[in-house]
Amino acid sequence: MVKRFSQLSNGMRVVTERVDHVATVSLGIWLNKGSRHENAAENGLFHFIEHTLFKGTPRFSARDIAEAVDGVGGILDAYTAREETCYSIKVRAVHLESTLALLADMLQHPTFDPHELSLERKVVLEEIKMGEDDPEDRVFELGIQRYWSDHAMGRPILGPVENVKRFDHDEVAAFHGRFYRTQDMVVAAAGDLDHDQLCRLCETLFPVSDRPPADIVESPPEVRGFQAYHTDDRLEQVSFTLFTHGFSQRDPRRHALNLLSVALGGGMSSRLFQSIREQRGLAYSVGCYTVPYADCGYFNLYGACSPENYQTVLSLCFDEIERVQQDGLDAGELRRAKEQVIGSLLMGYESTYNRATSLARALMVHGEIYEPEKWVALIESVEADAVRDAARYAFHPDKRALAGLGAASGRPDDGFLAGRGFHDTPILIPH
């Protein structure tokens, strides 16, 4: 396996890993911009453009694009996140040049035809409705918006309905012109490829962007602790999400917090799964995870249960939080958590798409080529004291934010929450 990196004259950065035992290539073009780089009026534009780049160019119609990819047995996909946007292809190596040319045309020369925009607008609005119909998605969005207050990081990636309904050709085209610059793109690929040939293709297919960079001032969001209960008597369960403070992608303490999340709620042997589901049968879904960003991060504990069990489930969650704050993890838990994280990392690395993704993110965040051996060593080096310290930092009462969504009968007692460190005025939000 050979990894290589090149900085091209058009400003693009290209990082690759040759994998000799496969006959395909996974390639992505990452734009190091996402929904956090939108203002309130623009919120949703990165995601909307991600959809509409598939709708045609002067050379190819939307159907042409679909048939061209299907015709070579390929996979064309895209996603929008808070700090990045990605367009990816996976094809047999022999078809890399033609599909990369298609992707280059899509990214650089979209027509943004008003009729196609109108059709795709309906699709995005349906996507928003789909999220609103999912209680777990809904309570997450309600929670993170309040947790990060008015900061762009707290806004929905898909944007509000009123924005999506307003986006027109001129606004979409102008936004695309500001952000889709070769200087802000990372090309990462893994599989059966030649690095030098890929670099030549990228220089040919992507002329240097002559537009100035967008004027953006980034600052981390301020954490806002709260407790809120959103009532919806149509729901059979209460879905809840607890946000606490996390670490950024550049903070070495994030590894300890990640191990904590795995031991606390990341698998069938985790404390929350065993205590709440296996031993008491109070919930089907309960767990936790961490999300690091460039300058901030969060720890999320989530679950869903019957309204009559909500307060009990919360109490069990807080019991485990208090235990890890006081005592940390025992040696067996820490070993299992490390094996889970390392095993997941290495199994994921068996996918060429995951290899390309890891290369791109390491380059964008850390400015270096991804080496799994380095990350394994960092995980192995985490000691029990570091995990306990991470728990004490993350679960400090001032940093906790709890949002519940369900029938009014499930709302926990104010005194119960005050006894668990929620001293602010409870927020009751009717449907």
34 pLDDT band, cuts 50/70/90, is very high
Q: Residues 368, 372, 374, 379: is their CA dihedral positive or negative?
A: positive
The proportion of the chain whose per-residue pLDDT surpasses 90, expressed as a percent, equals: 88
The proportion of the chain whose per-residue pLDDT surpasses 70, expressed as a percent, equals: 98
50 is catalytic: yes
Residue-averaged pLDDT of the chain: 94
How far apart are the C-alpha atoms of 75 and 96, rounded to whole Å?
Answer: 12
**What would the two tokens of residue 208 be?**
């240097």
List, in sequence order, every residue forming a beta bridge with 56; answer none if it has no partner: 61
Domain ranges of the chain: 2-205, 226-429
Residue 161: partners with Cβ closer than 8 Å, 6 or more residues away:
125, 128
Q: Is the pLDDT of residue 295 over 80?
A: yes
Residue 118: partners with Cβ closer than 8 Å, 6 or more residues away:
none
**3-state SS assignment for residue 428:** strand
pTM over 0.75: yes
CATH 3.20.20.70, applies to 2-205: no
The tens digit of pLDDT for each residue in 316-374 reads 999 999 999 999 999 999 999 999 999 999 999 999 999 999 999 999 999 999 899 99
Q: Is the pLDDT of residue 423 over 80?
A: no
Active-site option among 17, 38, 42, 50: 50
Residue count of the chain, please give it: 431
Is 68 within 8 Å of 99 (Cβ atoms)? yes
The tens digit of pLDDT for each residue in 109-167 reads 999 999 999 999 999 999 999 999 999 999 999 999 999 988 999 999 999 999 999 99
426 pLDDT band, cuts 50/70/90, is low
* 173: amino acid identity, one letter: A
The tens digit of pLDDT for each residue in 171-219 reads 999 999 999 999 999 999 999 999 999 999 999 999 998 888 787 878 8
- Best CATH choice for the domain 226-429 from the list 1.20.1090.10, 3.90.1310.10, 3.40.50.280, 3.30.830.10: 3.30.830.10
The tens digit of pLDDT for each residue in 398-421 reads 788 999 999 999 998 878 887 777
Average pLDDT over residues 70-86: 97
CA angle 208, 211, 216 (to 5 degrees): 120
Average pLDDT over residues 58-74: 96
**3-state SS assignment for residue 382:** coil
